[in-house]
């Protein structure tokens, strides 16, 4: 919000020359409110100490903590590490990978990287430049660098923690020395993060020259609690309404949550992490199948509670993790399961296609309540793109949720969070949420930059936030929505709002692809092809392209983009790739893929 306010009112009178001002603006670019508050204190601190201590111009701080986050977990770990480091009197530099100049690696002496992995094994968008640099033709020599990598991933995916291991290998290949073995944390990363942090800082301190260990941290005014994955905010559901026709196959809901505008700040493009209650019917079934009493007392996370409560509120029941299957194999006497546990790929597939209840039913096992609780993972929050702009709804967060429901293994299955949000939560109920920042998916800084927003299904959500934001700010840039879903009459999410925006002149263009309306299945990428000339004209005019949706859609759009660039500009595929790459580097091609 601060950034927006700044843009809206212009920069106040100042004593800086043009270049200095530009540098300052660049330096604070992309900082969140808390970082800005910190920076202002930092600058004030610098100003109050006279004379300014002499330092070599490019001297690196004691330790650089670099994070590349997708949903905010990596940032959380990095921040926590930075806080502990500061408390120990170290002077960490905490920086997001997209704010980091890869060439500066050569000047680092101590680097800690906290990095998550996306679904297909890719690093987060924010680390794109860093990886490109390390994999490039002229890789740096990093003999003077000590580093540590903390990877966050999900072992139910094939490329578990691939980004972290790649980074580890790249750094090592460049001659850097591992300060500590890489950690590949799984979805339950919190406890391992805590112990890793302690060990690491101890190691860092040993590396630290004595004279750099005496920096006095800036005293910060105690601010409101920062809500994150470990301290979720309890938001109240204000409203839920179905926004697909009653005859639609897909059940999509619009939800509005009430938040405290002081405690929760978000920007268009951000996601919301949320915790949910499991289906009571599912809990009942699990209790019945396992023959355990819901009242049985179990201990979990240092406290004790009933098994029923643990199952309903604390444990992961719907996203079956391979680790759980493996654990289950060890308690059930099922040879097939034991064999499965040995085959990583088959195990992953098995887990992906099932919920815990399927495992329990097909492979019964005798175990007590406590053992069950220990076998199961803690519930992982789910991330949803935020569908509102705080500029328009100061104390609300809107979500667009598609309820996942399917039949398999002889029973109906319902998504954990989507089932909760779509079917069970009632208005007035509260749920734990936190903002997962998504710095790789942001509106252009300049309000007059045109944008093309391509989305499929609930991938339309962030664009609703974009347009709300642009409307409130009075941004003059043209807006083009490209949307795909099944049926025009049933699944045109937020149709009346888009039509209103068009009527008001805010939305300049709508292109639609409804795949089940006619014989030839039309998808978003076909829309782009059809309007290739116009699409390319917009890009030539500086438009930013956003893509939000599933992996397949994202890949198809990229392919279309490539073909359009070739066709429109007469480029060969290689030059077109370069063009697209340059779009990406300029932040003009941003993706939010799930």
Partner 1 sequence: MDRPLNPNELIKANSRYLRGTLRESIADTATGALSPDDAQISKFHGFYEQDDRDCRRERQEQLLEPYYSFMLRARLPGGVCTPAQWLAIDAVGSELGNGTIRLTTRQTFQYHGILKRNLKPLIQRINQAMIDSIGGCGDVNRNVLCNPNPERSALHAEVHQWAQRISEHLLPKTRAYHEIWLDGEPVAGGESEPLYGETYLPRKFKTAVAVPPHNDVDVYTNDLGFVAIADGDRLLGFNVLAGGGMGASHDDTTTFPRLADELGFIPPQQTLAVAEAVVSVQRDQGDRVSRRHARLKYTIERMGLAAFKAEVERRAGVRFEPHRPVRFTSQGDRYGWVEDGEGRWHLTLYIENGRVADLAGASLMTGLREIAKIHQGDFRITPNQNLVVASVPAYQKVSIDGLAREHGLLPAERSPTRLASIACVALPTCPQAMAEAERYFPELLEKIEALAVRYGIERQAIVMRMTGCPNGCARPYVAEVGLIGKGPGRYNLQLGGDGTGLRLNRLYRKNLNESEVLETLDGLFVRYAANRLTEERFGDFVIRDGLVKPVIDPAEDYHEAD
Which residue ranges make up the site for partner 1 (CB under 8 A)? Answer: 241-246, 254, 488-490, 492-499, 502, 510-512, 517-518
Cβ 269 to partner 1, closest distance in Å? 22
Give the nearer residue to partner 1 in terms of CB position, either 258 or 497: 497
Range 243-250, long-range pairs (CB < 8 A, 24+ positions): 243/400, 243/493, 243/494, 244/490, 244/491, 244/493, 245/487, 245/489, 245/490, 245/491, 247/490, 248/486, 248/487, 248/490, 248/491, 249/486, 249/490, 250/402, 250/457, 250/485, 250/486, 250/490, 250/491
Give the nearer residue to partner 1 in terms of CB position, either 248 or 331: 248
Locate the DSSP E strands across 17-168: 63-68, 92-96, 110-116, 146-152
Cβ 246 to partner 1, closest distance in Å? 7
Give the nearer residue to partner 1 in terms of CB position, either 137 or 246: 246
Give the nearer residue to partner 1 in terms of CB position, either 83 or 510: 510
Give the nearer residue to partner 1 in terms of CB position, either 349 or 502: 502
How far is residue 82's CA from residue 65's CA, in Å, rounded to a whole number? 7
391: closest CA among 36, 3, 25, 34? Answer: 3
Burial 240-251 (b: 16+ CB within 10 A, else e): beebbeeebebb
How far is residue 313's CA from residue 369's CA, in Å, rounded to a whole number? 15
How far is residue 128's CA from residue 102's CA, in Å, rounded to a whole number? 10
Cβ 462 to partner 1, closest distance in Å? 17
Give the nearer residue to partner 1 in terms of CB position, either 334 or 497: 497
The SS3 call for residue 115 is strand
Give the nearer residue to partner 1 in terms of CB position, either 59 or 520: 520
Q: Tell me the β-bridge partners of 402.
A: 252
Give the nearer residue to partner 1 in terms of CB position, either 496 or 504: 496
The two structure tokens encoding residue 152 = 């966050």
How far is residue 217's CA from residue 89's CA, in Å, rounded to a whole number? 7
Q: Which of the 8 DSSP states describes residue 592? A: E
Locate the DSSP E strands across 386-478: 396-403, 405-408, 411-414, 430-436, 451-456
Give the nearer residue to partner 1 in terms of CB position, either 167 or 399: 399
Instruction: Quickly tell me which residue has 């700044």 as its tokens.
Output: 6
How far is residue 131's CA from residue 163's CA, in Å, rounded to a whole number? 9
Cβ 243 to partner 1, closest distance in Å? 5
Residue 106 sits at the vertex; the CA angle it makes with 105 and 111, to the nearest 5 degrees, is 45
Cβ 510 to partner 1, closest distance in Å? 4
Residue 170 CB coordination number (10 Å): 19
Between the alpha carbon of residue 147 and those of residues 143, 144, 193, 195, 315, the distances in Å are 11, 10, 16, 17, 35
320: closest CA among 356, 283, 349? Answer: 356
Cβ 204 to partner 1, closest distance in Å? 53
Give the nearer residue to partner 1 in terms of CB position, either 374 or 500: 500
Give the nearer residue to partner 1 in terms of CB position, either 146 or 490: 490
Give the nearer residue to partner 1 in terms of CB position, either 239 or 260: 239
The SS3 call for residue 64 is strand
Give the nearer residue to partner 1 in terms of CB position, either 245 or 542: 245
Cβ 241 to partner 1, closest distance in Å? 6
The SS3 call for residue 341 is helix
The two structure tokens encoding residue 183 = 């950690």
Give the nearer residue to partner 1 in terms of CB position, either 434 or 492: 492
Cβ 512 to partner 1, closest distance in Å? 5
CA 534 vs. chain centroid, Å, equals 31
Count CA within 13 A, CB hemisphere, residue 583: 26
Cβ 507 to partner 1, closest distance in Å? 9
Cβ 456 to partner 1, closest distance in Å? 16
Q: Are strands 233-242 and 430-436 parallel, antiparallel or unpaired?
A: antiparallel
The two structure tokens encoding residue 55 = 């330092």
């Amino acid at each position: 919000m601060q950034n927006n306010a700044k843009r809206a009112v212009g920069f106040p009178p100042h004593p800086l020359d043009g270049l200095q001002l530009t540098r300052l603006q660049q330096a604070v670019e992309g900082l969140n409110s808390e970082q800005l508050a910190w920076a202002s204190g930092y600058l004030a601190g610098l100003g109050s100490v006279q004379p300014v201590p002499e330092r070599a111009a490019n001297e690196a701080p004691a330790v650089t903590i670099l994070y590349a986050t997708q949903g905010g977990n990596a940032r959380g770990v990095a921040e926590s590490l930075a806080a502990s480091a500061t408390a120990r009197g170290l002077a960490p530099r905490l920086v997001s990978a997209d704010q980091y100049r890869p060439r500066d690696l050569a000047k680092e002496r101590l680097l800690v990287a906290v990095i998550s992995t996306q679904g297909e094994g890719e690093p987060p968008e924010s680390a794109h430049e860093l990886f490109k640099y390390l994999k490039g033709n002229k890789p740096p020599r990093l003999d003077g660098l000590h580093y540590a990598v903390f990877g966050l991933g999900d072992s139910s995916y094939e490329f578990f923690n691939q980004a972290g291991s790649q980074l580890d290998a790249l750094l090592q290949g460049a001659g850097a020395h591992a300060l500590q073995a890489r950690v590949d944390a799984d979805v339950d990363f919190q406890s391992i993060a805590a112990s890793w942090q302690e060990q690491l800082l101890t190691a860092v301190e040993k590396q630290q020259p004595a004279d750099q260990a005496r920096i006095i941290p800036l005293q910060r005014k105690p601010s409101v609690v920062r809500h994150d994955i470990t301290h979720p905010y309890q938001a109240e559901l204000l409203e839920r309404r179905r926004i697909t026709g009653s005859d639609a196959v897909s059940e999509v809901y619009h939800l509005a949550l009430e938040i405290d505008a002081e405690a929760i700040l978000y920007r268009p493009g951000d996601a919301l992490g949320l915790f949910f209650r499991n289906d009571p019917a599912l809990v009942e079934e699990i209790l019945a199948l396992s023959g355990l009493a819901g009242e049985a007392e179990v201990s979990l996370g240092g406290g004790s509670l009933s098994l029923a409560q643990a199952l309903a509120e604390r444990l992961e029941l719907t996203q079956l993790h391979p680790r759980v299957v493996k654990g289950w194999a060890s308690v059930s006497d099922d040879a097939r399961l034991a064999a499965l546990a040995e085959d990583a790929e088959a195990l992953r597939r098995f887990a992906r296609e099932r919920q815990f209840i399927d495992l329990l039913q097909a492979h019964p096992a005798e175990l007590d309540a406590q053992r069950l609780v220990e076998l199961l993972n803690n519930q992982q929050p789910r991330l949803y793109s935020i569908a509102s702009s705080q500029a328009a709804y100061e104390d609300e967060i809107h979500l667009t949720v598609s309820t996942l429901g399917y039949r398999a293994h002889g029973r109906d299955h319902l998504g954990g969070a989507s089932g909760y949000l779509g079917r069970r939560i009632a208005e007035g109920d509260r749920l734990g949420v936190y903002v997962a920042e998504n710095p790789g998916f942001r509106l252009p800084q300049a309000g007059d930059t045109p944008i093309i927003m391509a989305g499929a299904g609930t991938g339309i959500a962030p664009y609703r936030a974009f347009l709300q934001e642009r409307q409130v700010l009075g941004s003059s840039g043209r807006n083009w929505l490209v949307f795909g879903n099944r049926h025009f009459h049933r699944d045109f999410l937020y149709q009346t709002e888009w039509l209103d925006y068009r009527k008001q002149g805010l939305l300049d263009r709508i292109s639609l692809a409804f795949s089940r309306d006619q014989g030839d299945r039309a998808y978003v990428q076909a829309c782009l092809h059809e309007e290739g000339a116009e699409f390319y004209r917009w890009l030539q005019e500086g438009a930013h392209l956003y893509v939000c949706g599933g992996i397949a859609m994202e890949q198809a759009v990229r392919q279309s983009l490539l073909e359009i660039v070739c066709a429109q500009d007469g480029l060969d595929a290689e030059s077109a790739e370069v063009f697209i790459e340059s779009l990406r580097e300029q932040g003009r091609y941003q993706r939010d893929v799930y």
